[in-house]
Structure 1
Amino acid sequence: MADKQHLYLVDGSAYIFRAYHRLPPLTNPEGTPVGAVYGYTTMLWKLAEDLDKADGPTHLAVVLDKSSKSFRNEIYDQYKANRPAPPEDLVPQFPLIRHATRAFSLPLIEEPDVEADDMIASYARTAARQGWDVTIVSSDKDLMQLIGTSEQGGTIDMLDTMKSARIGPEEVREKFGVPPELVGDVLALMGDSVDNIPGIFGVGPKTASKLIQDHGSLTAALDSATDMKKSKLKERLLEHRGDAELSRVLVTLKEDCPLPIAIEDMKIATIPPEPLTAFLSEHGFTSLMRRLEGGNGGPGPSTQLHPAKPQNEGEGHAPQGNRQPLPDMPDVDRSAYECVQSVEALDAWIERSFKARLVAVDTETSALDAMQAELVGISLAVGPNEACYIPLTHYTSDAGGDDMFAQRPEQIPLATALEKLKPLLESDAVLKVGQNIKYDLNVLARHDIAIAPIDDTMIVSFALDAGRSQDGIGGGHGMDELAQRHLGHTCLTFKEMCGTGKKAIPFGQVPLDRATEYAAEDADVTLRLYRHLKPRLAVEGGTRVYERVDRPLIPVVAGMERHGIRVDRDRLVGLSERFATEIARLEGEIHEIAGQEFAVGSPKQLGEILFEKMGYKGGKRGKSGQYSTDQSVLEKLDAQGAPIATKVLEWRQLAKLKSTYTDALQQAINPNTGRVHTSYSLTGAQTGRLSSTDPNLQNIPIRTEIGREIRQAFVAEPGNVLLAADYSQIELRLAAHMANVEPLREAFAAGEDIHNRTAREMFGEVDRDTRARAKTINFAILYGISRWGLAGRLGIEAEEAQDLIDTYFARFPGIQRYIVSTLETVRERGYSETLFGRKTWFPRINSKNQAERQGSERAAINAPIQGTSADIIKRAMARMGPALADAGLQPGAPDGVRMLLQVHDELVFELPEGLVDDAKPVIEQVMAEAATPAVELTVPLGIDIGTGLSWDDAH
């Protein structure tokens, strides 16, 4: 225990809401919601684990809000008036959270008519004046006013447990631009919409910060307004001075509240197990029970967390499925990890790995780009706490770089270590498990090591829980988040190892003892996650999509990333120069229309020009007081005949294409290969579609002339051509099959133009206009579009749009039945499912919030169709290599057929021109039959194939 007294003050209210929004809805055996309770309990547990650490607490208390009123409501009756009531399923958890705190035998402070922030401020100042160090466990910006050092030497800092980040004076200055003692002045100017603190309308964080930086205080900043040149800011400062001064009082923390518990009485020792055991048992927190028993006790009580059920039809959250209990595992012990610095030690670990038949593998590198990163070390794990780190290229250098004077710690030579590891990593007898193992595959492939067979915890998690997070998006599959969610463990972070900003060091310079803790923990946690997640696949129905779609794709996508695609740098340079000229011309025309020069890229300035100076109607201000000038706003003005809106839309498109593609692609060319190597995420879209980053090649416009010009810069190597194979209208074909729409099935079977067929059914005739409208309707209906959305796309009134929707459903009743059936199923089960069993979760499908509910409904209608489409093209990609090999087309070889890109429904290949005739039928057959035998479709899958010297030519 540290000699100096260190008080931790936990902002319990912040913990509660962060826990509620972080975890899925769960209930205890009695059916009471406990998702927030569980998250809150694990957070307290993490703090308890730090008790014996040097920077851990000697004294600790949890502070909660007891009342909704305080002295601030007497000063300003609108204080916090806009705060919504807490969610219904959170309300019954508040008393349970108090019970959880008492179960840890921790002091709980909650005073009537006193806000938790004020109690925290009073305790923090009192302790600091006594020379104590104080850590406030919170990320609340209001509490940052307290950070600093007292005259008696006591320090106050903050700990954001979600980011594992300490917040001191420098971090405050980085966030607000001012020291902690001036944060209140900045807050007074900018206000707070959550607490309904008025501030000064139109003054945002940056302006508020600059005013306080320039003038040193709120009063001085307000006084300076009289000498300012005429401007909106001057008017606002003068007109709303009273609001700012009131806000300064409201944001000031009360630091002299009576203290109900003396800080000396907050001393903590070992947590008594009895009350905690009873609490955990009562609520079915079995994994925490096992941790309390040391990880080696019995299986614990038979109770466990149960999936939450909808409270009433159309209310609350969707059910969350069958969450399985954790297998028995000891807590993470970083001191047990071994740093392997000799060949003998490496041989021993390789032998252990062969005997285990399963080893978790992770690489440490010098950069995020797998195609350029240097290998720094490799970690292995064969069991919980049985992990090692093998440093390979670590060094220390006073010069801060890997120079000739660098000192290298004892480590096995890179070539020797890889030569010994290669048989293990390539052995069919040992399963290699990774977290995002695609990255490790690419790093080690550059050293002539082909890792196989493999499993990936990130992909397993995605197959189980896509979309399951509380915000309803398909994220949350990174190792740190999975460890926190499933293991209740907080991993060391890269920032903790290497620092940030100018003082950051490369991982190769991290001392070996610290590097071992970090790197071996990654392998250890990956293995633990595998033991927890992999058994769930069979129990929860995820095995089929994981084994038949996702896992086979990992090495395929890794290979595509390594192949990359050639781009014509000269063409890109020419396009960038031309775009720059066009952008400058458009800027001049926009300024001429506006009658003055302004920053076209500034939404604030553009909004003032459009709606104040030029007087266009329909301007709407956001919470910041700034006019919205997004795409939809400008398109409406364009439709009304506003020439400036037309020009700004053109300017934005060119500026985006220039920065995102023609400029960025030049920077993305790998100097070693001369090609661009995009990175594909297998978990980036919750429906299962691949997403592309660094650079993103999936958002290049397809149908515009400018988009085609950019695609012309993607070229084949001399003597080769590019081949583009595209599924034709695959989502409409799948809709016809899944909704059993006979007219559409007949049309596809006959090879009829589906939009012509829809136009004939809808409007009785087919011409250019009716076909275009039919095409819009076909796709819009599958995305669950509303009448207002369809009206906007077609430029008609909402009533007419509703008539079209009604007519569509009358002509194709199967589509309406599919939509109704899908929504009923998702509301009941909480997830949609593709034809291959891929689940996409929609936690907000039964939300009382109309926007949340309708957004989930629209996504749920399309998810089975779009997800099935994604599954089919993934199956085609995984089968392509073996099929090409059987045809003697040497897949992946420089003189064979290489699959380079996957963009939406399209695959792009590079191959010698002489192989085109042989490759076309193989590629077409693989794509056409990709669904079989798992799924027999009642409509044919059409594939369009083209070739050319550029990507554009291949279309």
Structure 2
Amino acid sequence: MAVTRPVDAQSHVYLVDGSGFIFRAYHALPALTRSDGAPVGAVQGFCAMVWKLLKDLKGEDAPTHLAVIFDHSGVTFRNALYDGYKANRPEPPEDLVPQFALIRDATGAFDLPCIELEGYEADDLIAAYARQAAEAGARVSIASSDKDLMQLVNDQVTLLDPMKVRRIGREEVIEKFGVPPEKVIDVQALAGDSVDNVPGVPGIGIKTAAQLITEYGDLDTLLARAEEIKQPKRRESLIEHAENARLSRQLVTLKADTPTPAPLESFGAADPDGERLVGFLRAMEFRTLTRRIEEALGAGPADETGDATAPIDRSAYKTVQTLEALDAWIARARAARVVAVDVETDALSASAARLVGVSLAVRPGEACYIPLGHSGGDLADGGGRPEQIDMASALGRLKPLLEDPAILKLGQNFKYDLAVFARHDIHPAPYDDTMLLSYVQEGASGGHGMDALSERHLGHKPMSFKEVCGSGKAQKSFDEIDLKTATQYAAEDADVTLRLWEILKPALARSGLSTVYETLERPLPAVLARMELSGIKVDVAQLSRLSSEFAQKMAEAEEAAFEAAGTRFNPGSPKQIGDILFGEMGLPGGKKTKSGAWSTDAAVLEELAAQGYDLPRALLTWRQFAKLKSTYADALKDAINPQTGRVHTSFALAATNTGRLSSSDPNLQNIPIRTEEGRKIREAFVAEPGHVIVAADYSQIELRLLAHIAGVEALKDAFRAGQDIHAMTASEMFGVPLEGMDPMVRRNAKAINFGIIYGISAFGLANNLGISRDEAKTYIDNYFKKFPGIADYMEAMKAEARERGYVQTLFGRRIHLPSIRDKNPSMRQFAERQAINAPIQGAAADIIRRAMARMDAAMAKAGLSARMLLQVHDELVFEAPENEADALIALAREVMSQAPLPVISLSVPLDVDARAAATWGQAH
């Protein structure tokens, strides 16, 4: 375990180029997968390299301090200097991406500090730590053979090639570059670097650059005297590209003043915890390496879940009420390299809630609660607030821990915590979310709330909020709860989260779903937290006008209903409606519910309306406008946050079977857009002055995915050619020319295209088109004859679901269908329809998740201040300054259309419709 130890002239500091280790391990070794199919070749190679390094460093070469430094994903300050920096580098190999997180876990298993910093490269951090160590008089060894680090070599700093066990000092640098280390930067500035796309000066390589720098002394002198150079091409190139050389010098110079995320003293070297290390290696299934290290350390078999299932003792939890006690818990978290975190607030909305306290857990059974905003209970002096740390002071201590890239944070439904912390300028990373770990493995087949997971995996029922705060009119706010009870409740949440992670994370790897979690789920909580906090502006006056308009429409429908019924009644009463429709009027199709009342749901009324009855038609109209008025026109006004003046919806990540997001408080996913009145609701969502709303929507993404997955060449060709897909389908099915096509024929083809995706029956299609069932069946039969791949796909999906109990999307997400083997035919048939649609709808959901995960970084790299506000099915909604609209539209189209890459290369293009306007309705 790393310890805190002063750095002085007797110290020997080792800085390991972790990112260099990763790629060296990946390319040097053959591909390797675990029994669950997860790629782990780079993880094994990395572990072997680290173990060899630790084993070889003995005697006077033994480290007193050691840390592993990684590149942070995303853009760096160099991209701001030069857009083209590293632009030519390909995306990491598909099978390497899910191994990045596992390699960081491996670093923790070796009990080594894992250091990275957003906006900077590993080399910059290495430069900063090397400078600090050298200034303290220490020796520094950089475990890397990267030529870019050779500029750091001096009397105290050397490089160590860990594979060749070869040290690189001043003489070796001169041998490599032809100049001493202090002039390497000038040589690199002239020669450039094709790998990193550093421009340099055309026609000048390392050898020529070294000759020029040796002759002229340094880059500035060379450029100032370039006209003296005799060779014409070399002279002209230096004069013409002088600015490129100066820019290149900035790009290749490592920033020794980079802010360091952890103190150098915290890198004190110590032997790894053998039980923990061997447990990790066993979970990775590295048998030979495990045996070798186990023998060397004398470590026995490790229980991969630790003490996760040990009984929970709430009385062992601690209340932290002083900064000294808080510092001790922070130190324990740093030593553990992993900490479960949970916030307590006084409201459910993260955009409005007030922070009341924070709980931490560092090992099963070892958890604490830090009260920050309690107003009563356990009073220290018989009155006033209970003893607790000042919030600003406590958060100031917690921020470095929560943002430390070397410490893994664990949360349950962590999106909420991220949003609450963000309002205090704290941005925890990296993190794991136990709710999402469960969701990836079990889908919607089980609950993923903490209480449900605890009972399912730990056999433990946590304290409920109702037990602590009460319910109804007697319910207290959490800030009013006494600290003893608050500690038991809050610390238990963190403890249970940690225990669940110790069970669910290894199970994720065993199930072969690590890539799904890492690429589709793990990035989203932070993205959605930012979106929820951004919110969206609504026009209150427009909503008031709509409310009045809908009320008038309701009154008109109500009068029509009274006239059709021949009596006045309450149109909002299902009982009264049922008695009139089926008791008094005797309309056909009446059926009673379990309670004995007549069923009057939408399906019943729509069936009667289709038969020409006026009363059910009027009731459907009344219900439509009643919902628009209450759910949107009125509720949206009430949902406006008085502090921000905007509406802040809450997105749910683990709520649907297919991976689609849902939203609530208010629900913005179900605004009806197929009616003129429903579209008016979107007109009320507006941009701030000087800004526009940009809506970017995938065009017919599910049909495109069907064409790809089912291999329907006719549909694929049509999409590639940019044809009207519904007109093409009509032409293929009905043998009519595209030119001058009857709109009704195209409408029929459109209904079939979309209906097929949902496994529509002849009965359903007949109802949709207002035709006979026989005619609808003929349409469907003709469709399958023209596009036989679709029928094959449907049968294959149903067979796969029956065999496995689930189907998969293109990206590996599992969609569980427990009813696929149900004895009830209607339940079984419903599951079969889901088996057909779910891989398509799920793949569409996966694609937009991948797009969302990339948009923030893409906008930042492009220098845009636009914000992503909403995700509604296949659409992303942004707010941007007017002068950024065109750039944002182009960027959104690029990111969204390329979202499947590099995991999936679709055989059809993904088209994105994007528009900017003053309102969401106009932009759609």
Residues 918-937 of structure 1 correspond to what in structure 2 (within 5 A)? 918-937=887-906
Is residue 868 from structure 1 mapped to residue 848 from structure 2 by the alignment?
Answer: no
Deviations 1:430-470 (A, max 9, x none): 1111000100011111111111111100011111100334x
SS of alignment partner, residue 396 of structure 1: coil
Deviations 1:714-737 (A, max 9, x none): 000000000110000000000000
**2:444 and 2:655 in contact (8 A); partners too:** no
State the AA in 2 paired with 1:460.
L
Is residue 347 from structure 1 mapped to residue 327 from structure 2 by the alignment?
Answer: yes
Is residue 450 from structure 1 mapped to residue 442 from structure 2 by the alignment?
Answer: no
SS of alignment partner, residue 696 of structure 2: strand
**Equivalence for 1:196:** none
**Equivalence for 2:388:** 411
**Equivalence for 2:473:** 502
Deviation at 1:327, TM superposition (A): 5.1
**Which of residues 663, 668, 677 in structure 2 aligns to 1:692?**
663
State the distance in 2 between where 1:615 and 1:608 align: 9
**Equivalence for 1:725:** 696
After TM superposition, the structure 1 stretch with the greater mean CA deviation from structure 2, 519-528 or 442-451, is: 442-451
**Equivalence for 2:541:** 570
The Cα RMSD (Å) is: 2.0
Residues 777-816 of structure 1 correspond to what in structure 2 (within 5 A)? 777-816=752-791
Deviation at 1:328, TM superposition (A): 4.5
State the AA in 2 paired with 1:784.
G
Change (3 A) 1:428 1:326: closer
Q: Deviating runs (4+, > 4 A) in structure 1?
A: 324-328
State the distance in 2 between where 1:479 and 1:784 align: 35
State the distance in 2 between where 1:508 and 1:883 align: 40
Change (3 A) 1:494 1:613: same
Deviation at 1:794, TM superposition (A): 2.3
SS of alignment partner, residue 922 of structure 2: coil
Is residue 550 from structure 1 mapped to residue 521 from structure 2 by the alignment?
Answer: yes
**Equivalence for 1:886:** 861
SS of alignment partner, residue 685 of structure 1: coil
State the distance in 1 between where 2:587 and 2:816 align: 43
State the distance in 2 between where 1:543 and 1:438 align: 20
**1:583 and 1:654 in contact (8 A); partners too:** yes
State the distance in 1 between where 2:861 and 2:321 align: 45
Deviations 1:1-24 (A, max 9, x none): xxxxxxxxxxxxxxxxxxxxxxxx
SS of alignment partner, residue 818 of structure 2: coil
State the distance in 1 between where 2:304 and 2:677 align: 54
**Equivalence for 1:536:** 507
**1:397 and 1:406 in contact (8 A); partners too:** no
Change (3 A) 1:516 1:589: same
Is residue 428 from structure 1 mapped to residue 397 from structure 2 by the alignment?
Answer: no
**Which of residues 317, 321, 330 in structure 2 aligns to 1:337?**
317
SS of alignment partner, residue 909 of structure 1: strand
State the distance in 1 between where 2:423 and 2:861 align: 26
SS of alignment partner, residue 573 of structure 1: helix
Deviation at 1:494, TM superposition (A): 0.4
Gaps of 5+ in 2: 1-275, 280-302
Residues 36-185 of structure 1 correspond to what in structure 2 (within 5 A)? none
State the AA in 1 paired with 2:341.
V
State the distance in 2 between where 1:685 and 1:675 align: 27
**Equivalence for 1:949:** 918
State the distance in 1 between where 2:767 and 2:665 align: 33
Deviation at 1:787, TM superposition (A): 2.4
Deviations 1:823-866 (A, max 9, x none): 11111111111111101111121111112211111111111110
Change (3 A) 1:716 1:406: farther
State the distance in 2 between where 1:917 and 1:427 align: 37
**Which of residues 822, 847, 871 in structure 1 aligns to 2:822?**
847
Rg bigger for which structure? Answer: 2
SS of alignment partner, residue 693 of structure 2: strand
SS of alignment partner, residue 952 of structure 1: helix
**1:381 and 1:387 in contact (8 A); partners too:** yes
**2:766 and 2:776 in contact (8 A); partners too:** yes
State the distance in 1 between where 2:859 and 2:407 align: 28
State the distance in 2 between where 1:503 and 1:657 align: 33
**Equivalence for 1:374:** 354
**1:397 and 1:405 in contact (8 A); partners too:** no
Is residue 626 from structure 1 mapped to residue 597 from structure 2 by the alignment?
Answer: yes
Deviations 1:635-663 (A, max 9, x none): 22222221222211110000001110011
State the AA in 2 paired with 1:879.
R
Deviation at 1:611, TM superposition (A): 2.0
**Equivalence for 2:244:** none
State the distance in 2 between where 1:328 and 1:767 align: 70
Is residue 838 from structure 1 mapped to residue 813 from structure 2 by the alignment?
Answer: yes
Change (3 A) 1:405 1:601: farther
Deviation at 1:537, TM superposition (A): 1.6
Deviation at 1:593, TM superposition (A): 2.2
Change (3 A) 1:421 1:397: closer
**2:377 and 2:481 in contact (8 A); partners too:** no
Is residue 646 from structure 1 mapped to residue 617 from structure 2 by the alignment?
Answer: yes
State the distance in 2 between where 1:734 and 1:897 align: 30
State the distance in 1 between where 2:306 and 2:745 align: 60
Deviation at 1:585, TM superposition (A): 2.6
Deviations 1:554-583 (A, max 9, x none): 111110001000000111111112212221
SS of alignment partner, residue 444 of structure 2: coil
**1:791 and 1:797 in contact (8 A); partners too:** yes
Is residue 480 from structure 1 mapped to residue 422 from structure 2 by the alignment?
Answer: no
State the distance in 2 between where 1:374 and 1:610 align: 51
State the distance in 2 between where 1:554 and 1:464 align: 18
State the distance in 2 between where 1:645 and 1:442 align: 46
**Equivalence for 1:396:** 376
State the distance in 2 between where 1:364 and 1:844 align: 38
SS of alignment partner, residue 619 of structure 1: coil
State the AA in 2 paired with 1:945.
A
Paired residue total = 619
Is residue 677 from structure 1 mapped to residue 652 from structure 2 by the alignment?
Answer: no
Give aligned-pair identity as a percent: 58
Deviation at 1:885, TM superposition (A): 1.7
**Which of residues 667, 670, 673 in structure 1 aligns to 2:638?**
667
**Which of residues 822, 827, 831 in structure 1 aligns to 2:797?**
822
**Equivalence for 1:217:** none
**Which of residues 502, 512, 519 in structure 1 aligns to 2:490?**
519
State the AA in 2 paired with 1:719.
G
State the distance in 2 between where 1:325 and 1:425 align: 25
Change (3 A) 1:326 1:825: farther
Deviations 1:909-937 (A, max 9, x none): 10011111222211110011000010000
**Equivalence for 2:743:** 768
**Equivalence for 1:183:** none
Is residue 708 from structure 1 mapped to residue 695 from structure 2 by the alignment?
Answer: no
TM superposition score normalised by structure 2: 0.65
State the distance in 1 between where 2:382 and 2:608 align: 64
Deviation at 1:878, TM superposition (A): 0.7
State the AA in 1 paired with 2:425.
D
SS of alignment partner, residue 567 of structure 2: coil
SS of alignment partner, residue 706 of structure 2: helix
SS of alignment partner, residue 675 of structure 1: coil
State the distance in 1 between where 2:670 and 2:382 align: 46
**2:333 and 2:339 in contact (8 A); partners too:** yes
State the distance in 2 between where 1:325 and 1:816 align: 46
State the AA in 1 paired with 2:782.
T
State the distance in 1 between where 2:449 and 2:789 align: 40
**Equivalence for 2:270:** none
SS of alignment partner, residue 373 of structure 2: coil
State the distance in 2 between where 1:784 and 1:672 align: 47
**Which of residues 875, 878, 889 in structure 2 aligns to 1:906?**
875
After TM superposition, the structure 1 stretch with the greater mean CA deviation from structure 2, 595-604 or 325-334, is: 325-334
